[in-house]
Amino acid sequence: MPFVEGTNLARTLGELQGEGIQIIGTAGEAKGTFYDCDLTGPLVMGFEGSCMRRLTLDSCDELVRISMSGAVECLNLSIATGVCLSKACRQQRLAARG
């Protein structure tokens, strides 16, 4: 899986957007869910709540949340990343099949 390293995340996200890459971020306050989202592009992962900085949130083209039922209020970053990457890999495989 390719990754991009940068010293300023908001600036790096802006440069990626300048290359035509759509940036999707995960945030608990997002209106849309990741179930209905195209996850074949890059993801910016962050904890729900205040852990993703405002400038980073504002730099995303779209924000999505992971809907859950039951008593679980939020997922830690490693679990949320695993859930999203699993769906992203599935979507990418389906897209490759045509």
Of 18 and 80, the structure prediction assigns the larger pLDDT to 18
Task: Classify burial at 52, counting beta carbons within 10 Å of its beta carbon; exposed 0-12, middle 13-18, buried 19 or more.
Answer: buried
Residue range 9-97, CATH number: 3.40.1280.10
12/43 Cα distance (integer angstroms) = 13
pLDDT digits (tens, 9 = 90+) for 30-78: 888 888 888 887 777 655 555 677 888 888 888 888 877 777 766 777 8
Are 92 and 40 a contacting pair, CB within 8 Å? yes
60/14 Cα distance (integer angstroms) = 9
Chain position carrying tokens 């908001």: 10
